[in-house]
Chains A and B, each alone.
Chain A
Amino acid sequence: MKQINFLLALTLIISILSCKKPKTTESEGEFASGVFVINEGNFMQGNASISFGSKDFSTVTNDVYQSVNNTALGDQAQSVGFSNNKAYIVVTGSNKIEVVKDDTMERVATISSGLSDPRYFETIGSHTALVTCWGDPSDSTDDYLAIVNTNSDQVTGHIPVALGPEKMVKNDDYLFVAHQGAWGTNNKVTVFDLILKEVTNTITVGDRPNSMVIKDNYLWVLCGGEPDWTGNETAGQLYKIDMNNNFNIEATFDFATTEHPGFLSLSGDDLYYYMDAKVYKMNTGDTALPSSEFMTYNGEAYNMEIYNEKIYITDALDYQQEGTVSVFDVSDGHLINQKTVGIIPGDLGFNF
């Protein structure tokens, strides 16, 4: 009862606050400018949530989706993407995308038809987006990209792809899909031509490509490699791929067999990645991997992203309590802010 009262009070406060400001532009709501933290929640416990951090991450509001919409978000929120002044929250376990206004968090639609284990959302046009979908994780041949119309908020088509599509990056010409392999393993990057609107190429990379960035004419793909428990451990690898030369692999950087890096990010001319509680920094012009770390993280990252010259590291702690997001300065690695968010914080959506 107390909780409900609290939620009611919170909703009331939020609605009063949002009433106070006359709506002049489309981005004037409570959550108009800041960071969406997607808290995955525990598997099958239905406790996924959204936290919202201010631009400088000095203040964080937790459980914002629940407070605004008065309903739970669902099971295993995976990621968030933005399109048409709306935020698309991909909820993998519940096989749906909750569409909310990106400034007020009010739900405007739920996309559930046509989605099967949806993972990540990427806008590719004024009213078109793609969503990577695993299909049934025990079926390795039913993976696809769902085409979403962001005006009608409906899935309008499927593009079959290789096993385990996960994260995407794009520039003006191409969208790249990394195939980490879902419950299995894969070593592909799918190239989707944004002008032709079709899959035009598939690049073979190392095992388990987990993150990508684009810098100038180059696509950088970080592969985690096969972990030790598979009995077939392979080294992590970093690929430099020339987009102007038929996706030729221009350079490959090999890690040691027991090294499995992740979370490749870009800031200026520098690449950053994470491995064994350390953040490494490498210039895009470098010809070798860095020999020592840029900074140490006191914990275990669940995700790392860089935005606006700040490094954001999420930490799930013991996975059975509210996790944290720590924000570091990208220039010297000093801690700017650390906040408690929801259970198993993962993807971050920067809406500013």
Chain B
Amino acid sequence: MKHLLFFLLLFIFITQTVPGQKLQKQNYVLDSVFIEGLSCKKVFNPYQLTKLPDSLSGTSSLTELLIQNTAVFFKEYGRGMVSGISLRGTGPVHTQIVWNGISVNSILNGQTDLNTFSPGGFDEIFIKKGGSSVIFGSGAIGGIVVFNDKITFKDTFHISNHTKIGSFRTGINHFKIISGNNKTYTKFGFQIQKSKNDYPYPGYRIKNENGRYQGWDFSFINGIKLHHHQLYIKYKISKLDRETSRTLYMPQNAELFTGNTNILSGWFWQNRYFSSRTEMVYLHEKYQYFFNKNLAGNSQSAAQSILVRNLLNFRLHKTYNLVIGNEISKQTGTGDHTGKHIRNNFATFLIWSHQLNNIDYQIKLRQDFNPDLKIPIIGALALHIPFHTYHHFRFSASKNFRLPTFNDLYWTPGGNPGLQPETSYSFDAVYNYNQRNFETHLGIFYIDSHNLIKWVPGQHQYWYPENFETVRYSGIEVSLHKVLKINNSITLSNRIEVNYNRAVNQKNNKLLPFTPQITGLNSFKFVYKSYTLSYRYRYQGKIFTTTTNTKFLPAYHLHSLSLSHNYGQHINIQFNINNLLNTYYENVPSRPQPGRFYEFILNFKI
């Protein structure tokens, strides 16, 4: 409560001063953002959409980036370890990670480990909350996190290099070069990172043993334009080698190797009334786990997907258009515990968008055809009601699904080939107030999920998954952003985000464990000439650790401070103090996060 008051006070202080600088216009663009070129004339987004800052160079992992810029919760098993995002109280398998329009969550376990995903090279990163299965398929229930490499045909040449060194012998270097003209575009990015990661657990005499990690990441984007046609390729490969850190009470000597390769090639052509985008995608993921890094024995798994997708956009009229999408995919998973299995899927979907005088609406439908699973027809309806210049009301309803993963179906022991898809219904109502230097978002949501797949203890001493649970998620999401330019040399800005959710298991009427009800972020920035001072406060409410809600991890408050300075146009230095008060906190039981630590960053760009 004290901290809520603190939020409000700070906010009142900020809003009462004179408006000044123009905010960066928040993009309320719908699917065009997510599938490049799939644009409608007037599109809208009824969900909360957080666009992250363009300068992404200050972060090594996606977890770090999102923690610094949003209030979302991460189930992170200690710094740098396995990390899953949780939106709206749903689990990491209910948030789809979308790379250049393609869902890339693991076929094997249904989620993306965000610490294997380096955000450095992307041009756009979005979080879009709410169901999106119509376009992104299985698992887009809590929301999606979108990463785009944008190909633009104009004269550009950029080189940038970002170097960070920090506590616990952490180092990272990201290099990026972009070159383009009106016919070609090329982007090349390379990142290496390494950390001993042996941070002391605040208040204990133990260090984060066996927590070392190192990895690299390479991306290459290339496009050419020939009259009405564009041909392009997007390539990303990453490798990460991590020890798996000890817990508070249990030493570890395991090690995990992960490798991911994403290749996308596309052909886009358009005329005045029509555009077509055809893409062929290859995704590969590989895991190798050594229970004891000093011994040879290990378990392995790998998966690959081949996907072909075509999107046809009919610009039928100035105010309405129709998109028809078709997608065929073949997924192959192999593993020591699952054997080899193949899943073939065909999906067809359509999106109808229409702009009337006082209202915009969009209708979406999707049907999957799968020889092994019965996937229901799904759909979504969205309304946008602009009310006066600044006020917007948005409503949406959608049906979404999640398919069982290969582990759910085939894991030995326990895998249950009889599992059916999870289904869920989402409803959103949002009010936005968007002015030049002041934006608000007030939203409520309700999600009704059925047949949730849960691993439960069985009769024969092993666990097996079942379509077991019904969960209702509901909540409120609020965000406020204010920019205030006092004079030519001083600018203040403040962004506040508070999320409240209740995820109630309908079987016992208790809250789901391992997800907080409240998360909040207050980031405050003070710019004086070439200096920027940032302060960030993050609150996370308590997290229940038992299904009966009898035990919990306590709530915590984190404070961070950062000072940066620009030397002219090309050089920027930054100094960060993270976890200023050396607070002990955990996001997963017995997995302490680091106390106070420091980082020094040098950015160079042409």
- Residues of A whose CB lies within 8 Å of any CB of B are 42, 44-48, 72, 74-76, 91, 93-95, 136-139, 227-231, 260, 276-277, 300, 316, 318-322, 343
- B291 interface hit (Cβ, 8 Å): yes
B545 touches A47 (CB 8 A): yes
Chain B residues closer than 8 Å to A93, beta-carbon distance: 249-250
Whether B251 and A95, one on each chain, are in contact in the complex, defined by CB atoms closer than 8 angstroms, is yes
Cβ-closest chain A residue relative to B462: A229
Known: A46-B248, A229-B413, A229-B462. A322 touches B292 (CB 8 A): no
B-side contacts of A91, CB under 8 Å: 249
Query: Is A136 touching B292 in the complex (CB atoms < 8 A)?
Result: yes
Decide: B291 and A137 in contact? CB cutoff 8 A.
Answer: yes
Question: What separation, in Å, do the CA atoms of A128 and B251 have in the docked complex?
Answer: 27
Closest to B548 in A: A321
Let me know if B459 is at the binding interface, CB within 8 A: yes
Interchain CB contact (< 8 A) of A45 among B460, B548, B550, B589: B589
Q: Contact check, B457 vs A47: say whether CB atoms are below 8 A apart.
A: no
**B517 smallest CB distance to A (angstroms):** 17
Q: How far is the CA of A229 from the CA of B590 in the complex (A)?
A: 31
A74 near B414: Cβ-Cβ < 8 Å:
no
Distance of B88 from chain A, by nearest CB (Å): 21
B590 touches A75 (CB 8 A): yes
Nearest-Cβ distance from residue A114 to partner chain B, whole angstroms: 15
B412 within 8 A of A: yes
User: Is the CB of B547 closer than 8 A to any CB of chain A?
Assistant: yes
Q: Return chain A residues, CB-CB under 8 Å to B247.
A: 44-46, 75
The reply on B158 being an interface residue by CB < 8 A is no
How many CB-defined contacts (below 8 Å) exist between A and B? 84
Residues of B within 8 A of A321 (CB): 546-548, 550
Most buried by B among A48, A75, A277: A75
Interface check B297, CB cutoff 8 A: yes
Q: Which of chain B's residues have a CB closer than 8 A to the CB of A48?
A: 249
Closest to B299 in A: A138
Quote the shortest CB–CB distance from B70 to chain A (angstroms).
27
Per-residue CB contact flags for chain B residues 276-302 toward chain A (1 = under 8 Å, else 0) read 000000000000000110010100000
Interface set of B (CB-CB < 8 Å, partner A) = 247-251, 291-292, 295, 297, 412-414, 456-457, 459-462, 513, 545-548, 550-551, 588-590
Question: Nearest 7 A-B pairs (CB), nearest first?
Answer: A229-B413, A46-B590, A46-B249, A75-B250, A321-B548, A75-B249, A45-B589
Asked whether, in the complex, the Cβ of A139 is within 8 Å of the Cβ of B292, the reply is yes
Known: A47-B551, A138-B291. 6 other contacts (CB 8 A): A45-B590, A93-B249, A139-B295, A320-B545, A322-B548, A322-B550
Residues of A within 8 A of B550 (CB): 321-322
CA distance A316 to B412 in the complex (A): 22
Residue of A nearest to B413 (CB): A229
Tell me the nearest residue of chain B to A230, going by C-beta: B413
**Smallest CB-CB separation from A275: which chain B residue?**
B459
- A46 contact from B250, B460, B462, Cβ within 8 A: B250
In the complex with contacts A138-B292, A229-B413, A94-B547 CB distance below 8 A = no
Could you say which residues of chain B place their CB within 8 Å of the CB of A316?
457
Whether the Cβ atoms of B513 and A229 lie closer than 8 Å is no
Given A47-B589, A136-B295, A229-B413, A318-B456 contact (CB < 8 Å): yes
Given known A-B contacts A276-B459, A322-B546, A322-B550, A229 and B414 have beta carbons under 8 A apart: yes
Task: Give the shortest distance, in Å, between B75 (CB) and chain A (any CB).
Answer: 13
Residues of A within 8 A of B459 (CB): 276-277, 300
- A276 to chain B: which residues have CB within 8 Å? 459
B292 near A227: Cβ-Cβ < 8 Å: no
Kindly state the separation between the CA atoms of A133 and B545 in the bound complex, as whole angstroms: 30
Shortest Cβ distance from A48 into B: residue: B249
Closest Cβ of chain A to B458, distance in Å, is 8
Q: Which residues of B contact A136 (CB under 8 A)?
A: 291-292, 295
Query: 25 pairs across A/B with beta carbons < 8 Å?
Result: A42-B589, A44-B590, A45-B545, A46-B248, A46-B590, A47-B545, A47-B589, A74-B249, A75-B247, A75-B590, A76-B250, A93-B249, A94-B250, A95-B251, A138-B297, A139-B297, A229-B414, A229-B460, A231-B412, A316-B457, A318-B547, A320-B546, A320-B547, A321-B546, A322-B550
For A47, the chain B residues whose CB sits under 8 A away are 545, 551, 589-590
Instruction: Report chain B residues within 8 Å CB of A46.
Output: 247-250, 589-590
Tell me whether A228 and B460 are in contact in the complex, defined as CB-CB below 8 angstroms, given that A136-B292, A138-B295, A321-B550 are known contacts: yes
Docked CA distance A75–B457 (Å): 20
Q: How far is the CA of A74 from the CA of B590 in the complex (A)?
A: 10
Check B462 against A227 for contact (C-beta < 8 Å): yes
Chain B neighbourhood of A74, CB < 8 A: 249-250
The complex places the Cα of A276 from the Cα of B459 at a distance, in Å, of 7
User: In the complex, are the beta carbons of A343 and B546 less than 8 A apart?
Assistant: yes
The closest CB in chain A to the CB of B454 belongs to: A318
Residues of B within 8 A of A322 (CB): 546, 548, 550
Q: Considering only CB atoms, which chain B residue lies closest to A276 in the complex?
A: B459
Smallest CB separation, B250 vs chain A (Å):
4
- Given the known interface contacts A47-B589, A138-B295, A139-B295, the answer about A227 and B547 at a Cβ–Cβ threshold of 8 Å is no
| B551 CB to nearest chain A CB (Å) | 7
- Bound-complex Cα distance A300 to B462 (A): 12
Q: In whole angstroms, how far apart are the Cα atoms of A257 and B310 in the complex?
A: 53
Give, as a whole number of angstroms, the nearest-CB distance from A182 to chain B. 12
A contact residues around B248 at 8 Å (CB): 46, 72
